[in-house]
A and B are shown apart, each in its own frame.
Chain A
């Protein structure tokens, strides 16, 4: 392969093709889009958490300057519109279906969280819409807010017809086997875990622009989505009753998602609905306050963990009982996140013969909670990796060696866990060894002593994680209550001049698909990367696909592209055989050339492309014109990235401030397409995990008011909160996709919180501190030290 092309193929850190438009200010985000004659909509939101709406007087507002219309829940009901749906419904442990109360896109008679949509005000300008909203007089009959996860089940029902404010009560695993393990156990470890509630905070707030074309009776929606095809399906088929073919959904450049832009939200549906009703294009852009109040939050679990060890300190059983706060309404992945994405992962990287878990999904008067970077897997990893540290301490072992003792050995793959998943491949000890070498683990105590001389408490914390990615095999998903398949589509369109457009059903919002997917094409077809265009995000252009989340885009979408490329090559061979007057079977394709085996007779890829569209003498009985192939790829299994992250912290005991001083990790993502992009994904994931562990918390008060509703109170990590991050990789190739890839987008966020909290607890353990909840804020750390000292003095 020519050197220039080789440097663009698989394994090369190709600089990103998409960078230029962002760097010169020519990215095209939804809020950058305007339509002639557009109206602006402002959503009047509930100021109270739980109330019946007694009346809405909109008369004064309707007369205000610039106002065109004000729509409320009554209008939604009159037009018989549906709400956002849940994409995946686990079955209750008694075999019944979960409770899925309706979610009207504008509140109908009752509001259930602060921020619930009460009215949509449409006006010529956003200022006019906002001002008019202040003139709407809503009378609420308030009820006590239900915000506490522990006691919500005992409160009055938030939705009529629900019981114990519980969406579902789900279990997985063999409870009898676990009970037996605990009966036999030499050591039992009990850990209480709180996984704090966080807010995704993609830097681009959500936005939507919708218009209706009377001429062809067709809607277009530009929206901030990670999966525009699913948005089209849900809005068309479930919410507004629009034939899919009459709704085009475009997700242009999207400024980060992290899960929060998977779901269909009421605002975008209202824009589509009103665009026809009012005969004007409609634009909505959230400000950050609305993002805090309205975007799906993440995490928010309470778990009780019990681990059984035998006399050899081997784990023989695990039980986890979890309450998951899902907020006031269900969104697309709300129910699958704490169940199949969480419960199935509880074996971690460990050989655990018996596991049982029960998860209850709880309704509260808070905004909905759904998948946030990692989605269920960070929660599972956090509780397991914290428990491993507590257990190691309890049995007097070094946490690294306790983990090593319990690792699934490398000759045990494929490894069937006690919880449904089968890991295809992995080798965990080298990852641990490399990370320990990177941070100089063996000399940690001398660093601790040096810090102590400066009055600082130094700590080190390990997290050896696994995740189930490449979401997901449709057959598995279907059997577990998934309502869609999770395959991916690709169309490879070779154009007459030899340029190539790849249409993918995934969506890039920072992941660099324009580049990495193009690298797959360069590698397979031997063409220059500049000849490749990746197309995503427009339902009119791409085939039906499932979007980007769950570290799935390369493992599933990339494999679909690979398969479509194989089809292109196969057809190219037939064209070449025809042009070279040879047998199809004698044609080889290498380095961008079709050659008759054993001869110097060849055709370049460009010649084949042109010929496909100038088929003057094609034998049409066996060769169609054109060179365009489609593939849908449905994975055979999840992929299982794994790795070791180690954090080192220094704590100032006089203030409680935790400083992150070092971070190393060694991950196994299978084969790497673009190591530079992979490293960037890991950095970002770590930063989000560090944010959750040290800084971030969505705090509600007893009245259901979100106290951390702006960057004044919600602490976003800044550049000065981090040291340089040291990232390395080892590879065991995935065994069941063509590329041998596993996915890397969520790993950092999954691995990092327990590494940090383990490091904080390790730092403070000489003072007698045994636990700290996330986020480890200065006051919390300081108080833990004070309490431990008081206890020690007693």
Chain B
């Protein structure tokens, strides 16, 4: 069983895990970080998106062992204490979530999208969320949330 050391939400963690452990299983089961969700088995729904070294990836499609030494951030790690991240705040203000299941992946995906380009058009936001499926919102308020967050994040 390999030992995997990584930084998760700013804390150094070291665990012995089976080789075939997916990152999402490592986060949910080993670390107890159940905010990251699994909504499909073909790497399409995006409910499992986290940041690895600042980039968004699908944690269902990578082994934890591949990320030895990496810096991982999950939905639990983006708020500043009690103060929500601007993206979280924007989703709240704009009713960008309903059942909440796709929300963590949606927020993590959107943060990277906005960090790369704060002057996104509506079309660019819609295309940029291609890797995230939501069944509740019709995406309308998610798009509004991302537009609002882009402003909050300095766009």
Contact = CB atoms under 8 A, between A and B. Distances in A.
- Establish whether A and B are touching in the complex (CB under 8 Å): yes
Nearest to B9: A25
B151 interface: no
Given A22-B100, A720-B126, A720-B127, A711 B42 contact: yes
Contacts of B17: none
B118 to A, nearest CB: 18
A676 B95 contact: yes
B98 interface: yes
A18 B133 CA distance: 21
A256 interface: yes
B111 interface: no
Contacts of B28: 32
Contacts of A15: 92-93, 95
Given A710-B40, A724-B122, A22 B133 contact: no
B74 interface: yes
B49 interface: no
B41, B84, B138: which has the most chain A beta carbons within 10 Å? B138
A43 B129 CA distance: 34
Nearest to A288: B40
A287 B60 CA distance: 12
A254 B41 contact: no
Contact of A24 (B75, B98, B123): B75
A21, A27, A287, A719: which has the most chain B beta carbons within 10 Å? A719
Contact of A19 (B92, B102, B123, B125): B92
A130 to B, nearest CB: 12
Given A23-B107, A687-B139, A711-B40, A203 B133 contact: yes
A268 B39 CA distance: 19
A748 B142 CA distance: 18
Interface in B99-114: 99-104, 107
A719 B95 contact: no
A444 interface: no
B36 to A, nearest CB: 7
A683 B137 contact: yes
A720 B45 CA distance: 14
Interface residues of B, number: 52
B13 interface: no
A487 interface: no
B41 A716 contact: no
Interface string B51-62: 000000000000
A26 B84 CA distance: 13
Interface in A623-680: 676-677, 679-680
Contacts of A686: 138
B133 A716 contact: yes
B45 A684 contact: no
Contact of B42 (A31, A258, A712): A712
A256 B97 contact: no
A289 interface: yes
Contacts of A255: 37, 39, 99-102
Contacts of A289: 41
Interface in A520-539: none
A684 B141 CA distance: 10
B45, B99, B103, B136: which has the most chain A beta carbons within 10 Å? B99
A473 interface: no
Contacts of B122: 724
A618 interface: no
B98 A712 contact: no
A15, A23, A509, A676: which has the most chain B beta carbons within 10 Å? A23
A676 B84 CA distance: 21
B140 interface: yes
B33 interface: yes
A510 B41 contact: no
Given A23-B107, A24-B88, A712-B44, A204 B33 contact: no
B141 A683 contact: yes
Contacts of A679: 95
Given A23-B103, A684-B136, A710 B42 contact: yes
Contact of A204 (B39, B44, B104, B139): B39
B116 interface: no
B94 to A, nearest CB: 9
Contact of A23 (B33, B84, B123, B139): B84
Interface string A674-708: 00110110011111100000000000000000000
Contacts of B129: 718-720
Contacts of B98: 256, 510-512, 680, 684
Contacts of A677: 95
Contact of B35 (A26, A512, A718): A26
A719 B84 contact: no
B143 interface: yes
Given A684-B98, A719-B130, A510 B88 contact: no
B122 to A, nearest CB: 7
Given A15-B92, A258-B135, A720-B130, A510 B100 contact: yes
A214 interface: no
A106 to B, nearest CB: 23
Nearest to B77: A25
B139 A722 contact: yes
B76 A256 contact: no
A748 B138 CA distance: 10
A330 B127 CA distance: 40
A687 B133 CA distance: 12
A711 B45 contact: yes
A785 to B, nearest CB: 27
A202 B45 CA distance: 11
A203 B135 contact: yes
Interface string B5-46: 000000000000000000000001000011111111110110
B41 A710 contact: yes
Given A23-B84, A510-B136, 15 more contacts: A15-B93, A29-B34, A201-B135, A203-B37, A203-B101, A204-B99, A511-B98, A683-B140, A684-B135, A687-B137, A688-B135, A710-B40, A718-B133, A719-B125, A720-B126
A-B pairs with the 8 shortest C-beta distances? A25-B35, A255-B101, A22-B100, A687-B138, A510-B99, A510-B98, A683-B138, A25-B75
Interface of B: 28, 33-42, 44-45, 47, 74-76, 79, 84, 88, 91-93, 95, 97-104, 107, 122-123, 125-127, 129-130, 132-143
Interface of A: 15-16, 18-29, 31-32, 201-205, 253-256, 258, 287-289, 509-512, 676-677, 679-680, 683-688, 710-712, 716, 718-720, 722, 724-725, 748
28 contacts: A15-B92, A19-B91, A19-B92, A19-B100, A20-B84, A22-B97, A22-B100, A23-B84, A23-B92, A24-B79, A24-B88, A25-B33, A26-B76, A203-B101, A253-B99, A256-B98, A510-B136, A680-B140, A684-B135, A684-B137, A687-B139, A710-B40, A718-B126, A718-B130, A718-B133, A719-B127, A720-B126, A724-B143
